[in-house]
Amino acid sequence: MNPNPLLTWEELTERLDEHRKRGEKIVTTNGVFDVLHVGHVRYLQQARALGDVLVVGLNTDACTRRLKGESRPFVPEAERAELLIALRCVDYVTLFDDATPVRLLEALRPDIHTKGGDYDVEALPETPIVRGHGGEVVILPFTDGHSTTDLAERILNSQKN
């Protein structure tokens, strides 16, 4: 079991300062990670491979409802955090309640911030923040056919038959 609990931003910045003192590269990502699936795991493993420490910014339940609708999340934030922390590739998890991770990234100052999919790096609100601290933003490919929305649709369709 990963000994690193769900951390506040303050606790996390202190831990990351220790990693920086050792010359370790900090990688961040963020998302809802509702109904953890193989696409998430592959993405997180790719993100972790870019550095020494992987931090996941996890959308709170309230934020998830604002972004995804009242039926989400399917899994409460504490349980989503526990699942992420249990993954070998994830070093730390922290919650954030904003529509974008900009304030979180201002606090964490990662060397690399990753996003999944076909985002345009230049259009992301995170990019100026990450670059302003000397970091870079990297887009990692999605695993086709593996998304929480796809999984939810398959479950619903299986109940109709």
Within-domain flag for 3? no
Q: Residue 10's pLDDT band (boundaries 50, 70, 90)?
A: very high
Residue 9 has pLDDT above 90, yes or no: yes
- Write the CATH number for 25: 3.40.50.620
CA angle, 106 as apex, 101 and 107 as ends, to 5°? 100
DSSP for 32-51 reads: ---S--HHHHHHHHHHHTTS
Within-domain flag for 54? yes
Q: Report how many domains make up the chain.
A: 1
Residue 2 has pLDDT above 60, yes or no: no
In the prediction, which pLDDT does 150 show? 65
Question: For residues 136 and 132, what is the distance between their CA atoms, to the nearest angstrom?
Answer: 9
User: Which residues pair with residue 53 across a beta bridge?
Assistant: 26
Within-domain flag for 4? no
Q: Residue 7's pLDDT band (boundaries 50, 70, 90)?
A: very high
In the prediction, which pLDDT does 118 show? 76
In the prediction, which pLDDT does 148 show? 59
**Residues 35-90: tens digit of each pLDDT:** 898 989 999 999 999 999 999 999 999 999 999 999 999 999 999 999 999 999 99
Alpha carbon distances (Å) from 134 to 12, 18, 46, 107: 19, 18, 21, 14
Full residue range of the structural domain in which residue 75 is found: 9-160
Within-domain flag for 2? no
**Residues 93-139: tens digit of each pLDDT:** 999 999 999 999 999 999 999 998 878 999 999 999 999 999 999 99
